[in-house]
Amino acid sequence: MKKFDYLIVGAGLFGCVFANEMTRRGKKCLVIEKRNHIGGNIYTENIENINVHKYGAHIFHTSNKKIWDYINQFADFNHYINSPLANYKGEIYNLPFNMNTFNKMWGVITPAEAREKIREQSCQIEEHPKNLEEMAVSLVGKDIYEKLIEGYTEKQWGRNCKELPPFIIKRLPVRFEYDNNYFNDIYQGIPIGGYTQICEKMLEGTEVQLSVDYFDQKEHFDSLAKTVVYTGTIDRYFDYCYGPLQYRSIRFENRILNIPDNFQGNAVINYTHRDIPYTRIIEHKHFEFGKQEKTVISYEYSDEWNIDKEPYYPINDTFNNDQYAKYSDLVEKETNIIFGGRLGSYKYYDMDKVIESVLNVTDNL
Ligand code: FAD
Ligand code: UDP
């Protein structure tokens, strides 16, 4: 008799939702996590009475009512709407690309004028853009591409925009309205009190072991449970037999500042010129409209990934997707194991999509 029904590798959002769902169904779960805390990349830590998003700004957004109701069981959400700004050599532009951006860039007033400007600047692009550069120019024109996209994207991904897939830029809305909401989703907010409490509640009734790497004692852990749920990198699971997949890493530099008011007037400011080494500065108190005496800011530097660094973003270009497909074929041959999450599925998933994917799996078990 095995002691657990499920061994869950990784206490990120996928692992926590999975544990919660199965514990509710009377199953026994063991979660192991190599970091010294739960939550994976949505982990928040209270510093100076501010909930600091330790692995980058996390705004919950979804259009799926089921997922919104699901996450609201674990926390109350505030009315925060993400409206980041872009700083290009001291010029400030609204994001996502909308009438405020077009007005500041070109002085145009109406949607018709903005569309005409974009048409003039993108007429060279063929009907089906082949890469991120072509997609971006066709959506917002050359000026916005050069000032707000090219430098930022090349810093973030460490690659030329011609080598990146078009879908990455399609994540951002382009709007012919004066509307700075970064997302199109119906529901949006930040959990009051941070994300870690959500994961704590999800893991109630589940045994959790921190600072444990699955691969240090794989046989031992496998022997404990009937099924393994694996949310680490898929290539690592198969000993990189087709070579490592590529990821993008991030380095954060956090500072506590003792200043009146706040540091930058907004939660997120992107630095879009390539000469500024960081991609963005996050000021965490704004996520919960904080009025604390101090403020905590994080400089976010995009970083080349190697096996010793945290993998944050899968790089879903053709080369890596083909490699992933080979690993995915190996998954088909495994038994008693479920792969999931951003790393296990090698997908650029937002939080709502992660929850949706868990519920799809657990509903079918
Ligand atoms: P993870 O959070 O990566 O969890 C996987 C866990 O497994 C990790 O804790 C890891 O340490 C552990 N693990 C891996 N290997 C092992 C092993 N061998 N042994 C033990 N443990 C292991 N989504 C949004 O919806 N809105 C946002 O605004 C947003 N902003 C983001 C900003 C940044 C900078 C990043 C990187 C992501 C953002 N996301 C956002 C996406 C969000 O972070 C993910 O959707 C979510 O965290 C994925 O959860 P996960 O469980 O799949 O992965
Ligand atoms: N992007 C950009 N300039 C910006 C913000 C975003 O060019 O000021 C591009 C960049 O290529 C990025 C993509 O839009 O990878 C998607 O942005 P998003 O904010 O969704 O990225 P995230 O950090 O959430 O993954």
* CATH code, 56: 3.40.50.720
* Residues 303-351: tens digit of each pLDDT: 999 989 999 999 988 899 999 999 999 999 999 999 999 999 999 999 9
> Does the pLDDT value for residue 250 go beyond 90?
yes
| Cα separations in angstroms, 233 against 29, 246, 314, 326 | 21, 10, 10, 14
- Residue 252 placed within a domain: no
Nearest ligand, CA 212: 1
Residue 266 and residue 286 in contact, taking contact as beta carbons nearer than 8 Å? yes
pLDDT higher than 90, residue 63:
yes
Is residue 96 reached through a cis peptide bond, with omega within 30 degrees of 0 on the bond before it?
yes
Judgement on whether residues 150 and 230 belong to the same structural domain of the protein:
no
State residue 260's pLDDT score. 87
pLDDT band at 65 (very low <50, low <70, confident <90, very high): very high
Q: DSSP characters for 101-112? A: HHHHHH---SHH
Q: Among 134, 288, 300, 356, which one carries the catalytic annotation? A: 300
Phi and psi torsions of 362, nearest 5°: -70, -30
Domain assignment present for 268: no
Q: In the prediction, which pLDDT does 362 show? A: 98
- Give 40-50 pLDDT, tens digit per residue: 999 999 999 99
pLDDT confidence of 77, banded at 50, 70, 90? very high
Whether 203 contacts 38, CB under 8 Å: yes
pLDDT range class, residue 91, cuts 50, 70, 90: very high
Q: Is the domain of 166 the same as that of 209?
A: no
Picking from 171, 203, 220, the residue at the C-terminal end of a domain is 171
Known catalytic residue at 25 = no
Asked about 119 being catalytic, the answer comes back as no
Residue 10 to residue 183: CA distance in whole angstroms: 28
**pLDDT of the residue at 189:** 98
Q: Any catalytic annotation for residue 175? A: yes
Residue 171 is a catalytic residue: yes
Residue 172 pLDDT: 94
Give the chain's domain count. Answer: 2
R_g (Cα) of the chain, nearest Å: 22
Decide the pairing of beta strands 29-32 and 207-209.
parallel
- pLDDT at site 234: 98
Query: Please, which pLDDT band fits residue 125 given cuts at 50, 70 and 90?
Result: confident
Average pLDDT over residues 147-171: 94
Active site residue 80: no
Q: Which of 70, 231, 270 gets mutated to test ligand 1 (max ligand atoms within 8 A of its CB)?
A: 231
Using the 3D structure, point to which of 171, 196, 224 is the last residue of a domain. Answer: 171
Beta bridge partners of residue 208, listed in sequence order: 31
281-307 pLDDT, tens digit per residue, is 999 999 999 999 999 999 999 999 998
Question: For residue 160, what are the domain limits?
Answer: 85-171
112, 136, 171 - which closes a domain:
171
CA of 132 to the centre of ligand 2 (A): 11
Q: Which residue among 98, 101, 132, 152 is best mutated to probe the pocket of ligand 2, counting the most ligand atoms within 8 A of its Cβ? A: 152
- Clarify whether residues 195 and 47 are in a common domain: yes
Check if the beta carbon of residue 225 is closer than 8 Å to that of residue 334.
Answer: no
Distances (CA, A) of 28 to 207, 208, 228, 305, 358: 9, 12, 12, 35, 17
Indicate whether 86 pLDDT > 90.
yes
Q: Is the pLDDT of residue 71 over 90?
A: yes
**pLDDT at residue 124, rounded to an integer:** 85
Given 88, 230, 280, 352, the catalytic residue: 280
